[in-house]
Amino acid sequence: MTGQRRREDERGVSAIELVLYMPLLMLVIVLAVQFSLVYLAQSAASSAAREAARVARVTGDPEQGIRRGNEFAADLGGGTLRDIEVTVEVVDGTSMRATVSGRANQLLPYEIAPRVSESSEGRIEQFEQDTP
């Protein structure tokens, strides 16, 4: 008889546990997806910075690097980055540094996604003719 009474007392316990744990589980899922979106945006910014620096180093023109960085960041991943800013600067007259920054996409309407920024730097390429 005590076994029967115990089962009756525990009826509905799993439903109550589900109600208590579900908000926490949903929060963990949303945070994991948001973290993934930020990581993806960081990778996109890194790729766009490398591309902008490559074009600027090869052409020697920071403006062309900025244009290519903006195009590349906008096309990459179907809009992975928002509010994109690209800067290219000459460093010590021998190198170009490109910096791409922007915001990651977000799941919630609150501003919880940080601004991501990545830089890439390399020497300006100089082509010389072969000498016989």
Q: For 65-91, what is each residue's pLDDT tens digit?
A: 999 999 998 888 677 888 899 999 998
| Domain at 12-123, CATH from 1.10.260, 3.30.1300, 3.40.1000, 1.10.405 | 3.30.1300
What sign for the dihedral angle of Cα 72, 75, 77, 80?
positive
Asked if 116 contacts 100 with a C-beta cutoff of 8 angstroms, the reply is no
pLDDT in tens, 18-68: 888 899 999 999 889 989 998 999 999 999 999 999 999 998 889 999 999
**107: number of Cβ within 10 Å:** 13
8 Å CB contact between 107 and 34: yes
